[in-house]
């Protein structure tokens, strides 16, 4: 690729500004009494997201719901998690696909395997995907995951550049770029899908370093690669700036194009930031936790989100309250937000087209003809900037649209991050009167440590 950096497209600033305002309102949740409001089981099976908030080391850029790993705490958490899953089973929920994210779900492999076994004993699950870190790519953990039916393992790498790994605090806990390559090579072929999570647009990430990362991935020939643009939240901004420097958003487009070009030929887009290796054999596996084939998904665990029948739900971020509510036989949902019809449609537009296409049959079955006139301004604007094109059976993203959608998804996650920040503010109050067995809670906000997804 040329040394000249590509300028960001003209629509980037107005698009992100507009979206930020829309998302700020969409992500304003209300506190709810769980006795009054918990999701009702949808008629058909949906996706189950399981959140495991523990990490051995807390990365400065991360605003997911994550806390410092402690063995006893994790064990008690997994026990509560299994009881929460049973509560959903008692309420008639059915799950067909499972995504376990974090945090680092593999911190307690035996507990994770027991939880997956329980899920499999309750429902005929088709796919199981689990997130992990490079230090957990060991034979022992592979065996535990394979025995529990895991078909997709997603490994957080971020970069193979040792200087960047040191800046992001991942060199010491997860090893050098070279060590990570060796571990990934050992993991390749063990699971139907091995995904590697990468990030781009670190302040001190040069185009060369990024292109070296892509070349390393191509040589490893893993089945899937996800490249996330670096995102932030109010709670992480200062820490990120201190350790990683100030990222320049105007380089995002150039870096994204470099990734597309460097992956080209070997990988093809599965979503706006996830790429699958071209292969004559197609395996069916979930792309990532944000792209589901079902409309509804249920999140279990502290800090997990659900979307059921046009309503978003969020469980408490307080580990103490989480356990207490489950002990009381309640679903630990504490916040909820009913989307308006327009918000539901925009959400579908965002999520479906992030997965590259919006089939007409899907829209017609769900909304009928009113979708087209209610979403006419959004669709017209997207066509005007050349982001989408109408084909015979579906609306599809154009190459330019892929960047647009990566931007929009990044804005969506930034709004979710801001929401998590708000939720963390309640942790202290929520955990008052908590279980002594849990000890003091650790929260990433206000100077201490924290978690979340």
The reply on whether position 115 binds ligand SAM by CB under 6 A is no
Region binding ligand SF4 by CB under 6 A among candidate stretches 23-31, 101-109, 249-257, 293-301: 101-109
- 172 vs 57: CA distance, rounded Å: 9
The reply on whether position 104 binds ligand SF4 by CB under 6 A is yes
Q: In the complex with ligand SAM, which residue's Cβ is closer, 231 or 263?
A: 231
Minimum CB–partner distance for residue 317 and ligand SAM (Å) = 15
Identify the three-state secondary structure at position 364.
helix
Question: And the tokens for 163?
Answer: 């200087």
Q: How far is it between the farthest Cα atoms of the chain? A: 61
Q: Which does 58 bind (CB under 5 to 8 A by kind): ligand SF4, ligand SAM, none?
A: ligand SF4
Report the C-alpha dihedral over residues 261, 267, 269, 272, rounded to 10 degrees: -60
Minimum CB–partner distance for residue 417 and ligand SAM (Å) = 8
- 307 vs 328: CA distance, rounded Å: 23
- 424 vs 382: CA distance, rounded Å: 35
Minimum CB–partner distance for residue 133 and ligand SF4 (Å) = 6
Region binding ligand SAM by CB under 6 A among candidate stretches 19-27, 99-107, 204-212, 423-431: 99-107
The reply on whether position 100 binds ligand SAM by CB under 6 A is no
Q: In the complex with ligand SAM, which residue's Cβ is closer, 42 or 249?
A: 249
Residue from 45, 109, 156, 355 that binds ligand SAM (CB under 6 A)? 156
Q: Mask: binding to ligand SF4, 209-248, rule CB under 6 A, as x and -?
A: ----------------------------------------
Q: Which does 169 bind (CB under 5 to 8 A by kind): ligand SF4, ligand SAM, none?
A: none
* Closest among 349, 314, 301, 328 to 115, alpha carbons compared: 301
- 411 vs 17: CA distance, rounded Å: 9
The reply on whether position 55 binds ligand SF4 by CB under 6 A is yes
Residue 95 near residue 119, CB atoms below 8 Å: yes
How many residues does the structure list for the chain? 453
The reply on whether position 301 binds ligand SAM by CB under 6 A is no
> Exposure string (b/e) for 322-331, b if CB count within 10 Å is 16 or more?
bbbbbeeebb
For 241, residues 6+ apart whose C-beta sits below 8 A from its C-beta are none
- 41 vs 148: CA distance, rounded Å: 25
Residue from 228, 255, 305, 313 that binds ligand SAM (CB under 6 A)? 228
Region binding ligand SAM by CB under 6 A among candidate stretches 61-69, 74-82, 110-118, 310-318: 61-69
Region binding ligand SAM by CB under 6 A among candidate stretches 71-79, 102-110, 354-362, 395-403: 102-110
For 220, residues 6+ apart whose C-beta sits below 8 A from its C-beta are 181, 184, 185, 188, 196
Region binding ligand SF4 by CB under 6 A among candidate stretches 26-34, 51-59, 217-225, 251-259: 51-59
Q: In the complex with ligand SAM, which residue's Cβ is closer, 55 or 262?
A: 55
E strands present in 138-192: 152-158
Residue from 62, 350, 415, 416 that binds ligand SAM (CB under 6 A)? 62
* Closest among 173, 160, 139, 154 to 60, alpha carbons compared: 173
Q: In the complex with ligand SF4, which residue's Cβ is closer, 98 or 107?
A: 107
Q: In the complex with ligand SAM, which residue's Cβ is closer, 81 or 326?
A: 81
Residue 53 near residue 65, CB atoms below 8 Å: yes
The reply on whether position 272 binds ligand SAM by CB under 6 A is no
The reply on whether position 231 binds ligand SAM by CB under 6 A is yes
The reply on whether position 102 binds ligand SF4 by CB under 6 A is yes
The reply on whether position 213 binds ligand SAM by CB under 6 A is no
- 84 vs 331: CA distance, rounded Å: 7
Residue from 167, 197, 348, 418 that binds ligand SAM (CB under 6 A)? 197
Residue 305 near residue 314, CB atoms below 8 Å: yes
Q: In the complex with ligand SAM, which residue's Cβ is closer, 156 or 355?
A: 156
Q: Strand 224-229 and strand 193-200: pairing?
A: parallel
Residue 247 near residue 230, CB atoms below 8 Å: yes
Residue 80 CA, chain-centre distance (Å), reads: 22
- 405 vs 362: CA distance, rounded Å: 19
Residue from 39, 134, 156, 301 that binds ligand SF4 (CB under 6 A)? 156
- 376 vs 202: CA distance, rounded Å: 37
Q: Mask: binding to ligand SF4, 59-78, rule CB under 6 A, as x and -?
A: x--x-x-x------------
Minimum CB–partner distance for residue 36 and ligand SF4 (Å) = 32
- 411 vs 313: CA distance, rounded Å: 20
**Contact residues: ligand SF4, CB under 6 A:** 55, 58-59, 62, 64, 66, 102-104, 133, 156
Binding site for ligand SAM (CB under 6 A): 55, 61-62, 64, 101-104, 131, 133, 156, 158, 197, 199, 228, 230-231
């Amino acid at each position: 690729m040329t040394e000249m950096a590509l300028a960001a497209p003209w629509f980037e600033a107005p698009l992100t500004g507009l979206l930020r305002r829309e998302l700020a309102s969409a992500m304003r949740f209300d506190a709810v009494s769980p006795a009054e409001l918990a999701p009702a089981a949808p008629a058909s099976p949906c996706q189950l997201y399981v959140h495991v908030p523990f990490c051995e080391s807390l990365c400065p850029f991360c605003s997911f719901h994550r806390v410092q790993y402690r063995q006893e705490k994790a064990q008690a958490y997994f026990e509560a998690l299994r009881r929460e899953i049973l509560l959903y089973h008692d309420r008639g929920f059915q799950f067909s696909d499972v995504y376990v994210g974090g945090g680092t779900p593999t911190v307690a492999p035996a507990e994770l395997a027991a939880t997956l076994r329980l899920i499999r004993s309750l429902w005929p699950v088709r796919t199981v995907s689990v997130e992990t870190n490079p230090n957990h790519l060991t034979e022992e953990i592979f065996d535990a995951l394979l025995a529990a039916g895991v078909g997709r393992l997603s490994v957080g790498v971020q970069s193979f550049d040792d200087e960047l790994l040191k800046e992001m605090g991942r060199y010491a806990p997860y090893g050098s770029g070279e060590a990570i390559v060796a571990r990934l090579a050992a993991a390749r072929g063990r699971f139907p899908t091995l995904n590697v999570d990468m990030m781009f647009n670190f302040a001190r990430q040069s185009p060369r370093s990024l292109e070296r990362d892509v070349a390393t991935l191509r040589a490893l020939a893993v089945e899937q690669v996800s490249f996330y643009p670096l995102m932030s939240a109010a709670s992480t901004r200062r820490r990120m700036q201190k350790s990683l420097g100030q990222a320049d958003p105007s380089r995002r487009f150039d870096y994204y194009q470099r990734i597309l070009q460097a992956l080209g030929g070997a990988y093809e887009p599965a979503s706006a930031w996830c790429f699958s290796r071209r292969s004559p054999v197609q395996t069916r596996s979930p792309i990532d936790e944000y792209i589901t084939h079902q409309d509804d998904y249920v999140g279990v665990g502290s800090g997990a989100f659900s979307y059921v029948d046009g309503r978003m739900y969020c469980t408490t971020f307080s580990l103490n309250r989480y356990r207490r509510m489950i002990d009381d036989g309640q679903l630990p949902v504490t916040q909820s937000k009913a989307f308006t019809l327009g918000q539901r449609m925009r959400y579908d537009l965002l999520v479906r087209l992030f997965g590259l296409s919006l089939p007409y049959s899907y829209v017609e079955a769900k909304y009928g003809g009113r979708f087209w006139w209610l979403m006419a301004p959004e669709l017209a604007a997207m066509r005007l900037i050349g982001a989408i094109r109408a084909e015979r059976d579906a609306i599809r993203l154009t190459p330019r649209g892929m960047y647009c959608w990566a931007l929009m998804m990044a804005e969506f996650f930034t709004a979710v991050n801001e929401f998590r920040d708000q939720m963390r503010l309640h942790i202290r109050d929520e955990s008052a009167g908590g279980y002594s067995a849990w000890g003091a809670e650790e929260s990433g906000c206000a100077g201490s440590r924290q978690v979340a997804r």
